[in-house]
């Protein structure tokens, strides 16, 4: 599984670089992978994360027009739902991949599913990209660059640890030592039937 996780990270980096060609939250996603493949889903996952990262930057502009800010906030809400939906698609892939594995009698469950662990790795790739950018900023002073370089070192160490933990999780699932149990996200505020502000308007 090490090669698989390393490839996942490379795809995340590829998506980040592709976004920064235009650095535009409205750019069309240039996904180079065939639709329906796990690679296509991974690239799409990180593209969503990358666009949302920059939307979060934009909305923090203290001079932003309130109407624009509200529109971006709602766009971020939609993006979070798309992100969640895609994570669940990735977990569907893992469930199918490990469907024939026979669990050991003492198999245990993990605190998070493989796809949610990959979600963390995708976000970590973004943190590393942008912290490296800050550490190398030509217009920043030495103190800023030194602080960011120190933070980058921690993030790079975290990448090793997180990648290793995900590999171990997948190896344990493949060997029957752990089992997958996926709880679909039930975001009540997005559902007109469960958000009282929405169903109260009917």
Query: Which residue from 76, 165, 84, 159 is spatially nearest to 125, judged by alpha carbons?
Result: 159
39 or 199: which leads in pLDDT: 39
- Residue-level pLDDT at 91: 96
Contact 166, 9 (CB under 8 A): no
DSSP three-state, residue 143:
helix
The domain locations on the chain are 2-199
Distance CA 83, CA 80 (A): 5
Surface-to-core class of residue 90, CB atoms within 10 Å of its CB (0-12 exposed, 13-18 middle, 19+ buried):
buried
Q: What is the pTM of this model?
A: 0.92
- Residue-level pLDDT at 202: 62
Q: What is the pLDDT of residues 181-202, one digit of tens each?
A: 877 776 787 778 888 887 877 6
Q: Where are the alpha helices (DSSP H) in the chain?
A: 2-22, 38-59, 66-97, 114-135, 142-175, 196-199
40 or 196: which leads in pLDDT: 40
Reported as a pLDDT band with limits 50, 70 and 90, residue 151 is very high
Q: What is the pLDDT of residues 111-148, one digit of tens each?
A: 999 999 999 999 999 999 999 999 999 999 999 999 99
Average pLDDT, the chain: 95
């Amino acid at each position: 599984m090490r090669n698989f996780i390393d490839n996942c990270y490379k795809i995340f980096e590829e998506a980040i670089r592709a976004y920064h060609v235009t650095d535009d939250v409205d750019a069309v996603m240039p996904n180079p992978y065939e639709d329906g493949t796990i690679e296509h889903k991974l690239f799409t996952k990180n593209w969503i994360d990358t666009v949302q990262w920059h939307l979060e930057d934009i909305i923090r502009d203290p001079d932003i027009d309130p109407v624009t800010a509200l529109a971006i906030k709602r766009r971020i809400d939609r993006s979070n739902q798309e992100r969640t939906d895609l994570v669940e698609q990735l977990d569907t892939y893992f469930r199918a991949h490990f469907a024939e594995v026979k669990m050991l009698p003492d198999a245990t469950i993990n605190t998070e599913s493989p796809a949610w662990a990959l979600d963390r790795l995708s976000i970590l790739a973004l943190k590393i990209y942008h912290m490296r950018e800050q550490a190398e900023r030509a217009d920043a002073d030495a103190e800023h660059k030194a602080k960011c370089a120190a933070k980058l070192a921690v993030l790079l160490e975290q990448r090793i640890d997180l990648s290793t933990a995900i590999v171990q999780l997948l190896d344990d699932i493949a060997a029957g030592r752990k089992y997958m149990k996926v709880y679909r996200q039930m975001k009540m505020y997005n559902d007109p039937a469960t958000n009282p502000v929405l169903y109260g308007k009917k």
